[in-house]
């Protein structure tokens, strides 16, 4: 199984900041990687698919990049609505697996 490791686990930032979250895979994989935003009491929301493709309706301040074993999610200018937990997920092979999550907190 492919293990996904996110860093950092927690990130404190301010509105307007640029932040980057990293996701590392335990083995080299294609670009079948997604990023989700999760807020309490809400269903996960797809942000990025195929490592760098922006899901329809998602603000352009979100971007993804990477290949092989290292992937990143960048938020160019944090907005108040962005404070949430973010998860990467590989769908390169079954069982699909999630990273452990990165909680983005207000500084």
Please identify, among the stretches 17-25, 65-73, 75-83, 84-92, the one whose residues bind other proteins according to the rule CB under 8 A: 84-92
For position 64 contacting other proteins by CB under 8 A, the verdict is no
Closest to other proteins by CB, 18 or 39: 39
- Interacting residue with other proteins among 11, 64, 66, 99 (CB under 8 A): 99
Q: What is the CA radius of gyration of the chain?
A: 13
Cα within 13 Å of Cα(46), Cβ side: 14
Closest to other proteins by CB, 32 or 83: 32
Joined together, the tokens standing for residue 71 give: 């992937």
Distance between CA 81 and CA 53 in Å, rounded?
21
Cα within 13 Å of Cα(2), Cβ side: 25
- Interacting residue with other proteins among 21, 34, 73, 104 (CB under 8 A): 34
Closest to other proteins by CB, 17 or 24: 24
Which one-letter DSSP state was computed for residue 91? -
For position 101 contacting other proteins by CB under 8 A, the verdict is yes
């Amino acid at each position: 199984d492919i293990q996904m490791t996110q860093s950092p686990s927690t990130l404190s930032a301010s509105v307007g900041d640029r932040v980057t979250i990293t996701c590392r895979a335990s083995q080299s994989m294609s670009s079948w990687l997604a990023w989700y935003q999760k807020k309490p009491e809400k269903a996960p929301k797809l942000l990025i698919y195929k490592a760098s493709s922006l899901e329809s309706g998602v603000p352009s301040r979100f971007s993804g990049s990477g290949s092989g074993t290292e992937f990143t999610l960048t938020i160019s200018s944090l907005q108040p609505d962005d404070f949430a937990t973010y998860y990467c997920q590989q769908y390169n092979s079954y069982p699909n697996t999630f990273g452990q999550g990165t909680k983005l907190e207000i500084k």
